[in-house]
Structure 1
């Protein structure tokens, strides 16, 4: 999870906040967690140990998670050893002649002490909700996690504290416009595509089928899809990775067939500005009422339906 807090606002955050119009920003991040990572306590500071515990709204992080959460709940004091000591008056009562039955008298003492800055608890709260999921080696949940209260980006002390609380709670930080939607959060995990010449088919297949280093379990490849992929004859292949989910694309003119060779997952057919469309999460693609997006389910006859669709769209036989 990296560092727990920050001594200063990271330069990348300052630069991004400067590009956001208005003075208010939201401190948050997009988490990409598997079921196991959630069960292992990645969100334990919110009392979340299973994805069914989400969403969490307006929750105070547990003080057991760390120093920043304790300060958020209880406030804190900074001893100013950099400043001159000041006089502080202490009063207490003592028995007369050592015998309380004879009464008591007040004693006043003046001592030199360091000056102190007292800070009230900010009482910031957090929220977390699943906004997308993906299948692959493991089911992956994309979780929008943030500080509930908007922060004045010009208030450097409050912004620094909010960033530190976000880091301690979620293990990552970012800043967003107060009107940011789920798509703005999901932009952090868009797929970057590499266009490969058809001559590299064997290399692409080898890399796609190779074990994923460090994965607890390897994806179950659908042999029918692998065989189909080996037989098609595109202009180019495009390849990208996102978390545990592997994608491969076959490009015909301006038509992209977007496929995942592991079990589950439909084929997406994107026409036109496929670079932009392919960066959208599947949930958003499904919502789109567009003549440029089609979804082909891998049930009986899917290859025939796919080839017919491409033939009707661009008049080409894709092979396979």
Structure 2
């Protein structure tokens, strides 16, 4: 089945695929080169390249970042925002001094439920006629996956303007190995924060201006413990950093999301780098969560000095 429109809202057309495995796909042509590079593929478009598409619209955003359900039918709740704050402090004899520390700012908002990103990655494969294809992995078309499939179709329409639904008998040939394009390993070595900051500038600048100082503070704190490596998320993983402390078997996931948490992951880097974003953010991978609150620096220090 070929779909060629701006987006789909109703999914009754999927009834013929219920309880079957399908792929969403589009045949490769050079006319797609600019669109493919825009979402994260390399200019060579090699077999086996796999990418979580960069956010370019509503469907790619939902796939890469998830979304929130805001419950406006419920009373507002008090939330606490923890931020780095610079102020003048009395120092005696008509003198003041500049002090910077973490403060907590209460605010009201409606309760919300966070929904994990679908995390569907696109990959370069080929069919039995040696035609390159841009496909998803196989997805079981059942009640649980209908919204995921709908968003994936809309993601293809958002990126390419069309897509095809393929069944397993259409003989998509997968490469023996995939080349994931979701992480960049920063130069190895113990860099002072002034140097490492320049290497992660794009990461910090993804946050709003009011939050950058707080994010800079968190990253500088973790970097001061000399991680063995630092990996920066690309494309749909943009806004995430992983610090690896291999001798301690500790892998720290940080993001540009303020007032969330720092996640301690239990898998090693080789395994983590192969996971989808949804898998990485799933709670069953988290060894611990360090909440972004006033005690955050002490909690991180206790973890990394133990």
Normalized against structure 1, the TM-score is what? 0.40
Q: Rg larger in 1 or in 2? A: 1
Report 1 or 2 for greater relative contact order, CA contacts < 8 Å, sequence distance ≥ 6: 2
